[in-house]
């Protein structure tokens, strides 16, 4: 019996197959997964229509189902954190480091 809110079968399967040290990328349609993600990475699409699901809708459900040791956020081209980074930081478990890195 699942004891968390996540019920998306494909996403649960991808998480179950990961193992220790695995990484999850939450990205919106602006992120180029074709060129910036390994071709062997499992892709689970949660989109239904534009604007229905956002990363801030998905992150709390994931955090309910998995443990997170650290997070990386994409920096803007000028090296600054986007405004949404503060919201992500508040959503992460207390003490979870959120580091920034420039997009590829």
Q: Are 98 and 82 in contact (CB under 8 A)?
A: no
Q: What is the pLDDT of residue 102?
A: 78
The ranges of the chain with pLDDT < 70 are: 1-2, 103-104
| Residues 60-78 pLDDT 10s | 999 999 989 899 988 888 8
DSSP per-residue string spanning 57-93 = HHHHHHHHHS--S-EEEEEPTTSPPPTHHHHHHHHSP
Domain residue spans of the chain: 9-102
pTM: 0.81
Q: What is the pLDDT of residue 1?
A: 58
Neighbours of 11 (CB within 10 A): 19
Q: What is the pLDDT of residue 74?
A: 87
Q: What is the pLDDT of residue 9?
A: 94
């Amino acid at each position: 019996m699942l004891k968390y809110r996540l019920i998306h079968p494909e996403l649960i399967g991808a998480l179950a197959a990961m193992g220790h040290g695995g990484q999850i990328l939450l990205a919106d349609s602006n992120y180029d997964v074709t060129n910036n993600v390994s071709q062997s990475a499992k892709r689970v699409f949660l989109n239904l229509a534009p604007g229905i699901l956002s990363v801030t809708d998905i992150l709390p459900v994931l955090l309910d189902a998995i443990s997170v040791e650290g997070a990386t956020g994409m920096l803007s081209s000028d090296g600054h954190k986007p405004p949404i980074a503060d919201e992500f930081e508040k959503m992460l478990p207390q003490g979870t480091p959120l580091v920034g890195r420039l997009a590829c």
